[in-house]
Amino acid sequence: MTSIAYRKMARHRLGWLITGVTLLLLSILIDLSTGPALLNIYDVFSTFFSPEKMSDPMVYVIVHNIRLPMTMMAIVVGASLGAAGALMQTILGNPLASPYTLGFSAAAGFGAAVTILFGLELPYFPELSVPFFAFIAASTACALVYGVAQLKGVTAEVMVLSGIATLFLFQSLQSLAQYMASPEVLQEIVFWLFGSMLKANWFSVSVGSSIFLFSVLVLTKDCWKLTALRLGDDRALSLGVNVQRLRLKVFAVVSLLTAGAVAFVGTIGFIGLVAPHIARMLVGEDHRLLLPFSSITGAVLMVAASIISKVISPGSIVPIGIVTAVVGVPFLFGLILTNKRGS
Amino acid sequence: MLEISHLNVSYDSVKILDDLNFKLERGSFTALLGPNGTGKSTLLKAMANLIPSSGEVTFCEDDQSTRNARANVCAYMPQDTGIASTLTVLEVVLLGRIVSLGLTVPKAILDEASQYLNRFGLENFESRRLNTLSGGQRQLVYLAQSLFRDPSVLLLDEPTSALDLRHQLIVLDHVANYCRNLKGTAVAAMHDLSLAAKYAQRIICLSEGRVIADGTPEKVLTKALIRKVYRVEADVFSGTNGVLHITALAAC
């Protein structure tokens, strides 16, 4: 029989999971109630549970057509970046790794910048041009790192090195696109790069959430293998894990998650780095818990950032990418200072 | 039980293991000796099918050529590289049965893993994080993980390196018990010649990727061989309990 201490720890972790979900639900409610049109939580509740009793139909429209897609997108992006960050830190064995490390976000930014600069348009779906080309550019960055890793060996060192090279390449190309742009176009590019939930709609929510769910399904069976990787390549290998194959598979999933998240809303920093650290401190490294909790933490941080982005400057919405670190850093510092070593 | 025939390993056209051939009996404890860089770790990895090799490694007369099949039969314990994982001790032991673990872990497996920790005197360590343990405690956890896999063959790469005297004896006592009581076959790369003589029934000494001596400790661990292989003058004598003691005197 397992010890009392172990059972207590397992209950403790489950408690954190429940707390995370509760925090997320609470932050969703606050986010839906916050904005230029001041709504109270009761009104927001009513739009879901008794819309026929509402006196002002505009409240329903504001909540369901404007705010809900933004909140849902914040959840999808936060969950995707949280999971992508945790996966990246595991496969690269590097606590500083995040979806940014391998240049996917920079590539998405470059794709968006080029589309805006040259006015590229998709036939029939012009409104999807920027996300489409951002996604294509992020996938190209992924293919580049993947190709180098295949040729030179799928080690963490090779992937980090080729990823950082890709990051610098696309950052330079992004700067070049900005340098070539007129002041009006430059403003549009910079606004995209800030990352904003104003670009969210139900289509982007459905694409982002489909990619997230697909990734969850693909990786469900690999939770224990990812946990084994935390003991190092040699030990994972000795336990029968095909480390190279796992690393490539997870890498492809991370690139998909990142591209799906940033293509629609722009560059969102810090969540992919900080959410896994918070999750690891609270629920440990068992990936059956770490991955869902990283996603929940990422989603809570994104929704909290969304709330702050609306209250910083009353009557307007500050791009969310600007405030994500403002929300994440106090969380992380608080945990670092209060976390007992080995607890 | 375990047969190695014509085993060769090369890295970038440099031969690391050169045509190795030997058989190991079930229930035996064999120590692999030799100076650094003679291929001991490479041999263990090749036996575990973790690196490309040519030749044959046969377990129980069955073909276990695929990595997963081999991983089910033999447990390879690498040197402790001190990776500061924050996994709990119970999670590390559970990983020994990674192939049969799903999203939920049956209570029976949890209890069994817990019993393994009790056996190693780690009953109060289940919820401790690995990075808070000493090197010796960590090595015991990894050994518990290896044995939790219920392997036929245990391959240990310097299992007592960086351990204090007491932990060296505890770890090797467990390995000896595994061979004696569970009829498992253990192969350990070692540097401490006295410990190898005390615990192993057989010594295989490697030099430049080849077996240059193979036999009982008394037969292999001679002054002449130690001088030839390690380039060290040593005193070799039999203790009161009949076990060989080797004291290094000077480098030649």
Q: Contact, A130 vs A120, CB < 8 A?
A: no
Report the residue of chain A nearest B142, measured CA to CA.
A235
Contact yes or no for A2 and B99 at CB 8 A: no
Residue position matching structure tokens 């990051």:
A167
Q: Please indicate, yes or no, if residue A289 is contained in any of the structural domains.
A: yes
Rg of chain A in Å (alpha carbons):
21
Number of domains forming the structure of chain A: 1
Q: Please indicate, yes or no, if residue A343 is contained in any of the structural domains.
A: no
DSSP string across B185-228: EEEEE-S-HHHHHHH-SEEEEEETTEEEEEE-HHHH--HHHHHH
In angstroms, rounded to a whole number, what is the distance separating the alpha carbons of residues A322 and B196? 62
In angstroms, rounded to a whole number, what is the distance separating the alpha carbons of residues A208 and A63? 20
Q: Tell me how close the Cα of B172 comes to any Cα of chain A, in angstroms.
A: 20
Q: Which residues of A touch B98 (CB under 8 A)?
A: 224-225, 228, 239-241
Contact yes or no for B78 and A234 at CB 8 A: yes
Q: Please indicate, yes or no, if residue A308 is contained in any of the structural domains.
A: yes
Report the residue of chain A nearest B95, measured CA to CA.
A228
Q: Please indicate, yes or no, if residue A211 is contained in any of the structural domains.
A: yes
Please write the tens of the pLDDT for every residue from B187-206: 999 999 999 999 999 999 99
Residue A343 — very low, low, confident or very high, per pLDDT cuts 50/70/90?
very low
Highest mean pLDDT among A20-24, A266-270, B104-108, B112-116: A20-24
DSSP H or E stretch at residue B18: strand B14-24
Please tell me the predicted confidence (pLDDT) of residue B175: 93
Q: Which of B45, B87, B92, B127 to mutate to test the interface with A (most CBs of A within 10 A)?
A: B127
Please tell me the predicted confidence (pLDDT) of residue B8: 93
Contact yes or no for B103 and A5 at CB 8 A: no
Number of inter-chain CB pairs under 8 A, A vs B: 92
Those residues of chain B that have pLDDT short of 50 are 63, 67
Q: Tell me how close the Cα of A279 comes to any Cα of chain B, in angstroms.
A: 12
Q: Please indicate, yes or no, if residue A218 is contained in any of the structural domains.
A: yes
Closest CA to A35 of A326, A337, A320, A311: A311
Q: Please indicate, yes or no, if residue A244 is contained in any of the structural domains.
A: yes
Please write the tens of the pLDDT for every residue from A31-79: 999 888 778 888 888 888 877 777 778 888 888 888 999 999 999 999 9
In angstroms, rounded to a whole number, what is the distance separating the alpha carbons of residues B216 and B80? 28
Please tell me the predicted confidence (pLDDT) of residue A339: 65
Out of A116-120, A152-156, B132-136, pick the least confident: A152-156
Assess whether pLDDT exceeds 80 at residue A342. no
Interface TM-score (ipTM) > 0.90: no
| Sign of the C-alpha dihedral computed for residues B112, B115, B120 and B121 taken in this order | positive
Assess whether pLDDT exceeds 90 at residue A225. yes
Contact yes or no for B91 and A280 at CB 8 A: no
Contact yes or no for A231 and B92 at CB 8 A: yes
Please tell me the predicted confidence (pLDDT) of residue B63: 46
The parent domain of residue A61 ranges over: 3-338
CATH of the domain at A41: 1.10.3470.10
Q: Please indicate, yes or no, if residue A162 is contained in any of the structural domains.
A: yes
Q: Please indicate, yes or no, if residue A202 is contained in any of the structural domains.
A: yes
3-state secondary structure of B11: strand
